[in-house]
Structure 1
């Protein structure tokens, strides 16, 4: 018999019935009190390897060191015309925006920009699917990040019914060829997937909903998506199977602790773009418990 936990309190208009690791739960996003079961399980959800977050002081010191290396990388790019394109994908509340901000925080904004596209216009809907993304690609000397990307068609769109099954299947066939063109063009191309545990997602949604500064980040589609965890997992796994390639691998980052995730992402970029005067001792080694390549890492 499945367990049930209604510890969120009296159900309100946004009370959601869902299963979390096989247990039936009721989660009321409007209740200001976070349920005890979420608080207890959030950090360790999805087999996260650490019991505590990285200490703030250690994080800030390491981040400053890595950001100084990013400034050196950007100076080399501007001198040589190098181009970097990094896209960030993951479930809602995985920390994509915060990670991108950590990457770009001390870079020159004139040549380091972020792209976060809204839903396609009527004109864009009639174009080649990749067209509006290509128009945002980096020019000489630019470092461009995408907060979500063409991979909307691999996750959000098929799960929420925003594309047809035929469009989804066509996308999965074409995207490896499309990304091979990016790499052949000489662009340093990164695909980051920020992995998030289910209880941690619920905790972050709750924080957004009740924050006077960040409640704009919580939307009705977030509520709808909470009950579709398994659907998103299925589409994620299919996406990895079809689009993880040697020329454009998925880099998966366990992101229950945002601090460790941000450092891992920056390190990966610095270790994979061979700019001169790179200080490998300052950059340090990757935490292989946090970051890895492809679906095998996720399954391990």
Structure 2
């Protein structure tokens, strides 16, 4: 069951990555990026506006733009609210191209490295500091300038496709390459590192994980804390420890277990919690 869900999710993620970057005409019509009407639309995923074939805008970039011009981003806030209130971080698990990229990197890992849970709150600092406050003060979108997804999808393809841009390469682009390279290495050992510790879009959606309509429910009487859910989780979570964890991307892989099911916020979670089993997944 877990493998079936994982396979389905892989193809959905691949399809979403292609959909968000489906303006293929850019590779032969001389344009640097797509600038059509769809660029006014944002989806709650990290997909760079400057990617040559991107057809939608990035909500993180849009937030910075509105912060820089000191206007309230009603449209972007509405996207976060409607998405978060209904499905939480579901888009992170099923549709985000950069999340998909990190899931692929995880396949090369021989061993996972666990980081302290409290560090996951750092993504809120990136949201508040780098996406909102710094653009408000400086007028510059510094998160976009340093974003590894921007380098992967935007910077590198633009440099490859347009030789005239290469003469403009300087310190900032070199720094962006270093950030991307470090992230790639770290993400092999720390599953979805960017999603859990950096992503401002994930931070915005994570605020709703505890109250979204879509929820995961653990029937405590059936759970023996074996830890298998954690071993297959893309964000290294044991769902029986916290059903509404901020880092849960609702990938549904853990629903292979009879103790875990897809539910709603309206369902009770007051099940009897079993005794901790020695050698459980907490030590995995």
Which structure has the higher relative contact order (CA within 8 Å, separation 6+)?
Answer: 1
The two structures share one fold, judged by TM-score above 0.5: no
Normalising by structure 2, report the TM-score. Answer: 0.25
Normalising by structure 1, report the TM-score. Answer: 0.24
